[in-house]
Amino acid sequence: MVLLFVLGLLLLAVAITLLAMGLRPAEEARGINRSLAVLQAMTDAPRELSAELEKPFADRVLQPLQARALKVGRRITGADSAERLRRKLDLAGNPAGWTVDRITAGKVMGAGLGLLIGLAVGLVLADALTTRLIFGAAGLVIGFFGPNLYLYQLAYDRANKLQRELPDAIDLMTISVESGLGFDAAVQQVAQNTEGPLADEFARMIREMQLGMGRGEALRSLGERANVDDLRSFVSAMVQADSFGIPIAQVLRVQSGEMRVKRRQRAEEKAQQVPVKITIPLIFCILPALFVAVMGPAAINIMDNFGG
């Protein structure tokens, strides 16, 4: 009996020990539980903390940098800089995404980037400190005035397109008026049936008139937004015809004839400039090759004869 009692106690102790070992979590289980807890904490983190990391690079870095560059640009440029940039944007056709603030910030950022590029080029190409500084200054100036030059080129190309499209637009307008349409309806026909900057300008003029602006004022705004003498002349003639009651069809017919004469004269002028413009390529590119082809064999024979 005593032996059985002792054996029962031993079995009971072994069972309690095994039960305790089974209930205690292992080290690996505790590590996994800690990892799961960390992941759960990251998942359940407030959206305000994780939203900053989820923003794209442009919103986190570029926008604050652009805001600081805008403050510096406003301090550097004059008080009338915004008005001058707005005027250049109108002449360039107000490209999509281009604003006065963005151009001002872009000038400062371009100046900094140009300075770095200029210094890097100076370090590679020059050994003197003065030359490197010159490269850096040149990069700074080019980066700062680069947006202005780009806007000037856009405005120049747009003015050329307006000048080329104006005679055809006036012809279409003349046909529309002579067929019975009013001037506003004729302008709308040109805006709907043609493409290009002139059609966009006419469409903007129609919208301004629909918003309550007078016809003369809308025409003057059209002339101010385009740096084209022919368009300004057309706008002036239309304003005078509207003020004095002159028949629009007659004025449009006269304007159409004048525009076509001017376009033919410009084409003749460019054709006469070709011989003058071709002189420099002729002297430095064509004539040397011609001299080599013609005089080369003779020069070789003379050298062989004198050498022999």
State residue 32's pLDDT score.
Answer: 57
Cβ–Cβ under 8 Å, residues 232 and 223: yes
Per-residue tokens: 300: 């070789």
Distance (Å, rounded) from C-alpha 205 to C-alpha 190? 12
Distance (Å, rounded) from C-alpha 268 to C-alpha 261? 11
Distance (Å, rounded) from C-alpha 192 to C-alpha 199? 7
For residue range 89-122, list pLDDT tens digits in order: 888 888 877 888 888 888 888 888 888 888 888 8
State residue 306's pLDDT score.
Answer: 78
Per DSSP, helices labelled H in the chain are: 2-23, 27-43, 47-54, 57, 63-76, 81-91, 100-125, 129-178, 183-193, 197-210, 215-225, 229-244, 248-277, 279-281, 287-307
pTM above 0.95, yes or no: no
State residue 27's pLDDT score.
Answer: 44
State residue 26's pLDDT score.
Answer: 44
Below-70 pLDDT ranges, the chain: 1-66, 69-70, 78-80, 307-308
Per-residue tokens: 196: 């290009």
State residue 66's pLDDT score.
Answer: 66
Other Cβ atoms closer than 10 A to 27? 7
For residue range 212-234, list pLDDT tens digits in order: 888 888 888 888 888 788 888 88
